[in-house]
């Protein structure tokens, strides 16, 4: 690993690496796989790639970090964020943590293919951790190599930014580079591995601490370091709560619960399915973290999961996400209890999650449906809607966009509007199998439309006002798996233009963008069962 001196290159980046300065580190060095005891991290350097090449940069993230535009265009940037060269002030390390995977304690996990470069403090005094994913082995890689392939890296880069622009709490992505090296992966776990192009994403977040960081110390009964980590996180990431005391720790846990509830409501609002909601994939900031086999609902199916590993149990399917988040918070509560020692404060935090989840979900559904405000009996309308959406293969994203355009004003009943002969025709494009399924769904669909019309008339919102409100929370553009796969296929052939186009489209997901309309089209039939376009494996 080359460390660049400030005389060679000075991009004016200020590092303040509080995590490694204030918390205990691994006394051993090197990437050899091992159990790391009594430490929050291990120092480790990225592996130098043979021929790093920049595919794309998220300019908004570069601005957020305060990076100079000239530096962003330089070869020095590519070398620094491919793991080839360390900038002055970088102190690379991998975190130690554990976690519950698919409901079972997995022991030590840690950053198996992520290496944190250091913490940047921007001009506003904000602290941002820079992390390379796919830059080589760490002590936590177990039997893996620590690298990442192009397909998973493209998906992580695009989804991080797509989620941000959708208004969903998330980690960010600064850059995507190819390494020039080949990585062997068994994509389908069928015993037929193949060589794929290696790539590295630079991820950005205030912190990458997750529930599992606390769980590992609790499981090992290392209460001294558990307390140190809790106090560090409160002082660094939740300073508004004040100095750590039992009451402050309780307030911190409650805030983690509230932030998690807000994140889950946003996931459900846009139809996002994380796919791997293990406790080691849950951020203490309530941010979406670790984009593996994720996906967006195409047809509305609460039991759908994008993860082939979860295909049988469907633990992490769309409809289970609120319950799984609550379960995960329970594991965090168990981990911090030896320090907090207060069941009342734990219960208060979990109750806050349940309360905020329900309250925010009601408000969100009211906004999605164009209601002026939420009424007590609106839950019945929402439940009836979900029954309608389940009655056929109806695209969730397109249904809500079309519902916003459905005319309400000036009609005495559904049969009097522009769709007098067949009010369902307005929603035809949202159906995946219109000819086969429309008639079976017709009865419930038309009844619900009339009920919806009556509800909107009670509010008295003009159609243009309702439409604007609904379009503000119901995206037209989401990162459908088939779109990501098309960008991956092109990038694999050396063409990164589709990544750039998708990034541009996803910056304005609620706007019409007629020039990019094709990126809003629902999943084509050829992508229904194609690898990468429907379900995905955990293979990187």
Q: What is the per-residue pLDDT across 7-17, written as a single tens digit (0 to 9) for each? A: 444 567 899 99
Average pLDDT over residues 110-128: 97
Average pLDDT over residues 93-109: 98
Identify the pLDDT of residue 423. 87
181 φ, ψ (degrees, to nearest 5): -115, 155
pLDDT over 90 for what percent of the chain?
Answer: 90
* Residues 6 or more apart whose Cβ sits within 8 Å of residue 103: 315, 327
Residue 186: band (very low, low, confident or very high) from pLDDT cuts 50, 70, 90: confident
Average pLDDT over residues 223-228: 98
Identify the pLDDT of residue 409. 77
Please check the confidence at residue 188 and state whether its pLDDT lies above 80.
no
Identify the pLDDT of residue 416. 47
Please check the confidence at residue 391 and state whether its pLDDT lies above 50.
yes
Q: How far apart are CA 398 and CA 429, in angstroms?
A: 8
Buried/exposed code over 296-325 (b: 16+ C-beta within 10 A; e: otherwise):
bbbbbbbebbbbbbbeeeebbbbbbbbebb
Average pLDDT over residues 459-467: 95
Q: How far apart are CA 207 and CA 509, in angstroms?
A: 26
- pLDDT tens profile 124-158: 999 999 999 999 999 999 989 999 999 999 999 99
Average pLDDT over residues 165-172: 98
What is the chain's mean pLDDT, rounded? 94
Q: Which of 189-198, 318-327, 386-395 has the lowest mean pLDDT?
A: 189-198
Identify the pLDDT of residue 537. 76
Q: How far apart are CA 274 and CA 395, in angstroms?
A: 18
Mark out the alpha helices in 131-210 (DSSP H runs). Answer: 150-166
Please check the confidence at residue 417 and state whether its pLDDT lies above 70.
no
Average pLDDT over residues 371-384: 96
Identify the pLDDT of residue 1. 63
- pLDDT tens profile 245-279: 999 999 999 999 999 999 999 999 999 999 999 99
Residue 534: band (very low, low, confident or very high) from pLDDT cuts 50, 70, 90: confident
Q: How far apart are CA 369 and CA 141, in angstroms?
A: 46
Identify the pLDDT of residue 6. 47
The gap from C-alpha 511 to its chain's centroid, in whole angstroms, comes to: 21
* Residues 6 or more apart whose Cβ sits within 8 Å of residue 57: 72, 174, 175, 176
* Residues 6 or more apart whose Cβ sits within 8 Å of residue 308: 189, 293, 535, 536, 537, 538
Q: Give the active site residues.
A: 280
Question: Global pTM?
Answer: 0.95
Average pLDDT over residues 34-38: 98
Identify the pLDDT of residue 529. 87
Whole-Å CA distances, 11 to 3, 131, 177: 14, 18, 19
More reliable by pLDDT, 191 or 490: 490
Identify the pLDDT of residue 105. 98
3-class SS of residue 328: helix
Residue 412: band (very low, low, confident or very high) from pLDDT cuts 50, 70, 90: very low
């Amino acid at each position: 690993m080359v460390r660049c001196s400030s005389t060679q290159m000075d991009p004016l980046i200020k590092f303040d690496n509080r995590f490694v300065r204030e918390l205990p580190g691994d006394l051993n060095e090197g990437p050899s796989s091992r159990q790391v005891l009594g430490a929050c991290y291990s120092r480790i350097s990225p592996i130098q790639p043979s021929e790093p090449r920049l595919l794309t940069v998220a300019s908004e993230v570069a601005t957020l970090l305060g990076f100079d535009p000239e530096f962003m265009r330089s070869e020095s940037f590519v070398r620094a964020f491919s793991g080839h060269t360390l900038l002055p002030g970088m102190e690379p390390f991998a975190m130690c943590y554990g976690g519950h995977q698919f409901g079972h304690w997995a022991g030590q996990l840690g950053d198996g293919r992520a290496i944190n470069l250091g913490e940047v403090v921007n001009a506003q005094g904000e602290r941002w951790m820079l992390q390379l994913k796919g830059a080589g082995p760490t002590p936590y890689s177990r039997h893996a190599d620590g690298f990442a392939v192009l397909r998973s890296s493209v998906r992580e880069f695009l989804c991080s930014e797509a989620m941000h622009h959708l208004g969903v709490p998330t980690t960010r992505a600064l850059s995507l580079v190819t390494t020039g090296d080949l990585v062997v992966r068994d994509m389908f776990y069928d015993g037929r591995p193949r060589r794929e192009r290696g790539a590295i994403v630079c991820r950005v977040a205030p912190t990458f601490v997750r529930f599992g960081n606390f769980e590992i110390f609790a499981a090992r009964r290392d209460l001294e370091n558990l307390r140190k980590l809790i106090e560090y996180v409160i002082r660094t990431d939740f300073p508004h709560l004040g100095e750590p005391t039992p009451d402050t720790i309780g307030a911190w846990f409650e805030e983690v619960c509230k932030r998690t509830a807000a994140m889950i409501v946003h996931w459900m609002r846009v139809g996002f399915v994380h796919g791997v909601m293990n406790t080691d994939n849950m951020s203490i900031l309530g941010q979406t973290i670790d984009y593996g086999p994720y996906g967006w609902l195409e047809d509305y199916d609460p039991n759908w999961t994008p993860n082939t590993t979860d295909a049988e149990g469907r633990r992490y399917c769309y409809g289970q996400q609120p319950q799984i988040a609550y379960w995960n918070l329970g594991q965090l509560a168990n981990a911090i209890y030896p320090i907090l020692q207060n069941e009342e404060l734990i219960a208060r935090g979990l109750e806050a999650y349940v309360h905020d989840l329900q309250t925010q979900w009601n408000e969100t559904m009211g906004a999605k449906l164009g209601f002026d405000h939420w009424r007590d009996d609106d839950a019945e309308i929402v439940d009836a809607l979900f029954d309608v959406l389940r009655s056929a293969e109806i695209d969730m994203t397109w249904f809500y966009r079309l519902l916003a355009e459905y005319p309400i004003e000036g009609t005495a009943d559904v049969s009097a509007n522009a769709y007098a002969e067949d009010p369902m025709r307005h929603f035809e494009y949202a159906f995946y199998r219109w000819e086969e399924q429309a008639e079976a769904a017709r009865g419930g669909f038309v009844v619900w439309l009339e009920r919806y019309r009556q509800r909107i008339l009670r509010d008295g919102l003009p159609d243009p006002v309702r439409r604007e409100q609904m379009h503000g929370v119901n995206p037209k553009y989401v990162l459908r798996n088939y779109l990501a796969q098309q960008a991956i296929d092109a990038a694999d052939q050396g063409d990164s233009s589709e990544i750039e186009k998708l990034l541009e489209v996803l910056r304005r997901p609620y706007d019409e963008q007629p020039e990019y309309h094709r990126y809003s089209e629902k999943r084509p039939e050829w992508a229904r069962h194609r690898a990468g376009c429907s379900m995905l494996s955990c293979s990187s």
